[in-house]
Amino acid sequence: MQRARAAVILAAGQGTRMRSPTPKVLHKVGGRTMLDRAIDACEALGCARIVVVVGAHSPQVGAHVRARLGDAAVAIQDPPLGTAHAVLAAKASLEGFEGDVVVAYADTPLTDADVFAPLFALREKGADLAILGFDAVDPGPYGRLILGKDGALERIVEAKDATPEELAISFCNSGLLAADRAALFAWLSQVGCANAKGEYYLTDIVAVARSAQRAVRAAKVAETKVMGVNSQAELADAERIFQQGRRAEFLAAGVAMAAPDTVHFAYDTEVAAGAVIEPHVVFGLGAKIGRATLRAFSHIEGANVADGAVIGPYARLRPGAEIGEDAHIGNFVEVKAATIGRGAKANHLAYLGDGAVGEGANIGAGVIFCNYDGFQKSRTEVGARAFVGSNSALVAPVRIGDGAYVGSGSVIVKDVPPDALALGRAVQTEKLGWATRFRQAMAGRRKP
């Protein structure tokens, strides 16, 4: 039977190398903050309790956690005295919990629930303390995991303290670990700070556990899964790896992409098998795409696109856009909070905001739904099979009836009955010979 699980997520770092007014852990990968990604992983792991350790220097992070998990999920480390001290800050929040605790990090955005699986496998095999490591391409400053002949983890050696032989080891510490809650906090209380920085290091827990004759084991995962982010360059690298993974998933699922390296997904993008995505399409949050064709340089966020629809090129779908089956949204057309019916078309240079376009309707080039009067937004409704001529402005609230026509260049301010023709433009007049007289007058003014 699986033991109960809890998580302590460390999010108290200063993040000074990000050089940003936004706290490090609130930077995003795949459109989701690194902190939320860590919480997502712990929730997927089935953790009954999640405690996020934040610093007093960053109230914004604490507010973010409270908004998602409530006050009980926040533990404050003040002052910051090292990673072991940070985990200890969560002790009171986990008082009375019986089960395993995992220590995770809010700045490892590619760590998902599956990454923790080897830790619990070690726990089930009798490890009292399970540590997660990785084979580093460039071990550099990472702490090295030193294994004994029996495969047990003997100690973690920081790079600055390692011998040349130890520095040659590529098996490095990720910082992720799991242990029984009572044992974990008992060991942490014994960690000292006799080091150059005077800090309490989480890595010292290995020596404490071994001195108590407890079994300490290490498991291995891919380096990218536990990579930390401490700078904008590393954030960009994490985004690159995330995007590569999402592209591979969609290609394997049957989504066609001729140039996948140019397509940018959000963490929650949904695309059906059989969809076609042309180069340089960008997905914001909340996009759900059926078996549609998305043409080049389109941007889609918070929109649903049904089977058979064709979007773009250079189209923008904003939150609330609902594009029906076989509808066409063409180049430089923007749709926001509007429903476009089955087979409807808006192929060129239009803005359709806060409204509805009926089945089979046609929206001409340059058509605008004038939805905002400076105080409130109103709806425009275009009926089924209606035809709105080019360069027309529909001033909301207004309805164009089923089968009605709006003449090109019209400004429509009143409802149009079904099957009627509406013309809302000035009467054309001609002044014969005016152009000739104008040119002659202008020529007479020219300087010699």
Write out the E strands in 113-272. Answer: 129-135, 144-147, 153-157, 171-180, 216-221, 256-257, 270-271
The share of the chain scoring above pLDDT 70, in percent, equals: 99
User: Does one domain contain both 352 and 322?
Assistant: yes
From 198, 226, 254, the end of a domain falls on 226
SS3 441: helix
User: Does one domain contain both 313 and 208?
Assistant: no
SS3 352: strand
User: Does one domain contain both 213 and 238?
Assistant: no
What pLDDT is recorded for position 447? 58
CATH number at residue 99: 3.90.550.10
User: Does one domain contain both 301 and 178?
Assistant: no
Q: What is the count of structural domains for the chain? A: 2
What pLDDT is recorded for position 383? 98
Among 162, 143, 115, smallest CA distance to 201 is for 143
Other Cβ atoms closer than 10 A to 397: 16
- pTM of this structure: 0.91
The answer to the question of residue 446 being in a domain is: no
User: Does one domain contain both 257 and 164?
Assistant: no
User: Does one domain contain both 220 and 301?
Assistant: no
Give the tens place of pLDDT for each residue, 87-119: 999 999 999 999 999 999 999 999 999 999 999
Catalytic residue numbers read 348
User: Does one domain contain both 241 and 277?
Assistant: yes
Q: In angstroms, rounded to a whole number, what is the distance separating the alpha carbons of residues 296 and 303?
A: 17
CATH number at residue 328: 2.160.10.10
The answer to the question of residue 284 being in a domain is: yes
User: Does one domain contain both 220 and 256?
Assistant: no
- Per the CB < 8 A criterion, the answer to whether 317 and 289 are in contact is no
Exposure string for 195-224, b = 16+ CB within 10 A, e = fewer:
eeeebbbbbbbbbbbbeeebbbbbbebebb
Instruction: Give the chain's mean pLDDT.
Output: 95
Judge residue 292's burial from the number of C-beta atoms within 10 Å of its C-beta, 0-12 exposed, 13-18 middle, 19 or more buried.
buried
The residues facing 317 across adjacent strands are 300, 335
Q: In angstroms, rounded to a whole number, what is the distance separating the alpha carbons of residues 83 and 85?
A: 5
Other Cβ atoms closer than 10 A to 120: 19
Give the tens place of pLDDT for each residue, 124-157: 999 999 999 999 999 988 999 999 988 899 999 9
Among 343, 272, 348, 344, smallest CA distance to 314 is for 348
Q: In angstroms, rounded to a whole number, what is the distance separating the alpha carbons of residues 353 and 414?
A: 18
Q: Which domain holds residue 201?
A: 5-226
User: Does one domain contain both 214 and 125?
Assistant: yes
Per-10-residue mean pLDDT, the chain, length 448: 94 92 97 98 97 95 97 94 95 96 97 96 96 94 92 91 92 97 96 85 94 96 96 98 98 98 98 98 98 98 98 98 98 98 98 98 98 94 98 97 97 96 89 92 75
The residues facing 104 across adjacent strands are 9
User: Does one domain contain both 145 and 239?
Assistant: no
